[in-house]
Amino acid sequence: MREIVFHLLVVVCVLGGTLSMAGALIWLERRLLALWQDRYGPNRVGPFGLFQPVADAIKIFTKEDWIPPFADRAVFVAAPAVIVVTVLMSFAVVPFAPGVWVADLNVGLLFLFGMSSLGAYSLILAGWASNNKYSLIGGLRAAAQTISYEVFMGLSLMGVVMLAGSFSLRAIVEAQQGVWFCVTQFPALVVFLIAGLAETHRLPFDMPEAESELVAGFHSEYSGMKFGMFFVGEYLAITLLSALATVLFFGGWLGPVLPPLVWFVLKTGALICGIILLRASLPRLRFDQLMSLGWKILLPVALLNIVVTGAIALLGK
């Protein structure tokens, strides 16, 4: 009985924690961007503008929720839900601290790949269902981008799986007791972060929305809370990417003195700030540059990493 209660508590905390994290990130990103661009950012609502996300949420909930008459209604409504659901599902296999996880699947990493590839449907379907040429181009770009970068993301993590000897995220964290994988698997870390950014279609890889050429890309026709779902989904995806990098490369909850959960949150937070700094400092790539970066540089690096890691693992036996 106590175990069931504990499990339900973890589920509720993960759900509440990640969703409020998404809200907090919207504030954090705007403040940090302002800091790096030498301006104030939102500082009017509450202390340091902390209640800005609340004001935003009230606004977005009370806006008119309009579905264009030319859109494919059912798909148009379903598309924004897909991205939020798949990202939240992914958090189910993330181990936050010893014993604190929703599920410890022995195919945990593959489950994550599955969820991230299903997340691609959200953008593609939104682009198609909007029945608008800018949305369609955004959707097409999203499809090509996510399918290609999923390949590099998967391949880059195979070295980690080889060293840990398991697809389970708990086992991967425990395998980093001695040295973190960010040292032994450095090329994999670089490929993973680039591919992860492309998967979450953040700047410098936000070609699917590219407001300067495609209005707002796949979500041009969305308004109100349906647009809000895409927005929240993006920030959830950033949190997921940082949490995954922490688990896979930076030793998860491992660390001296402080309790494990604090270490996990600190590492994830630092990575999130890094991702925001990337947005503040890099311009958007061109779409063909994105594709050639992936297939001509990231793919060979990831494959080479697998071969070298495999050879060293074999020699070490």
Partner 1 sequence: MTVIFYLSAIIAVAATFLAITRTNAVHALLYLAVSLLAVAMVLFTLGAPFAAALEIVIYAGAIVVLFVFVVMMLNQGTATIRRERAYLTPSMWIVPGLLTLVLFAELVCVVAWVPEAAGAPAEAIGPKAVGMALFGPYAIAVEMASLLLLAGLIGAFHLGRRDEE
Contacts to partner 1 by CB under 8 A: 72, 75, 105-107, 110-111, 113-114, 116-118, 120-121, 124-125, 127-128, 136, 139-140, 143-144, 146-147, 150, 154, 167
- Rounded to whole angstroms, how far apart are CA atoms 104 and 262? 20
* Least spacing, CB of residue 37 vs partner 1, in Å: 36
Tell the smallest beta-carbon distance from residue 106 to partner 1 (Å). Answer: 5
- Tell me how crowded residue 275 is: count the other CB atoms within 10 A of its CB: 21
**Closest separation between CB of residue 132 and partner 1, Å?**
12
Dihedrals phi, psi of 97, to nearest 5 degrees: -160, 170
Q: Which is nearer to partner 1, 121 or 253 (CB)?
A: 121
In the complex with partner 1, which residue's Cβ is closer, 121 or 192?
Answer: 121
* Shortest distance in whole angstroms from residue 307 CB to partner 1: 15
Q: How far is CA 305 from CA 123, 241, 298, 314, in A?
A: 31, 21, 10, 14
The residues, ordered by sequence, that sit 6+ positions from 152 with a Cβ below 8 Å of its Cβ are 191, 194, 195, 294, 298, 299, 302
Q: DSSP label at 317?
A: -
Question: What's the rounded Cα separation, in Å, for the pair 308 and 151?
Answer: 19
Q: Which two tokens stand for residue 105?
A: 């699947």
Nearest CB to partner 1, comparing residues 124 and 237: 124
Residue 97 C-beta: closest distance to partner 1, Å: 24
Q: Report whether 123 contacts 81 (CB < 8 A).
A: no
Shortest separation between residue 306's beta carbon and partner 1, angstroms: 14
Work out the number of other CB atoms within 10 angstroms of the CB of residue 103. Answer: 14
For partner 1, which is the closer residue by CB, 136 or 193?
A: 136
Cα 62 to Cα 50, 57, 59, 69, 126, distances in angstroms: 21, 9, 5, 21, 22
In the complex with partner 1, the residue whose CB is nearer, 119 or 228, is 119
| Burial class, 62, CB count within 10 angstroms (exposed 0-12 / middle 13-18 / buried 19+) | exposed
Query: How far apart are CB 25 and partner 1 at their closest, in Å?
Result: 26
Residue 48 CB: number of other CB atoms within 10 A? 12
Phi-psi bin for 201: left (phi > 0), alpha (psi -120 to 50), beta?
Answer: left
For partner 1, the closer CB: 20 or 106: 106
Query: Nearer Cβ to partner 1, position 173 or 275?
Result: 173
Task: Provide the minimum distance between the beta carbon of 136 and partner 1 in the complex, in angstroms, as a whole number.
Answer: 7
Do residues 137 and 217 make contact, with C-beta atoms less than 8 angstroms apart? yes
SS3 191: helix
Shortest distance in whole angstroms from residue 308 CB to partner 1: 19
CB nearer to partner 1: give 39 or 296.
Answer: 296
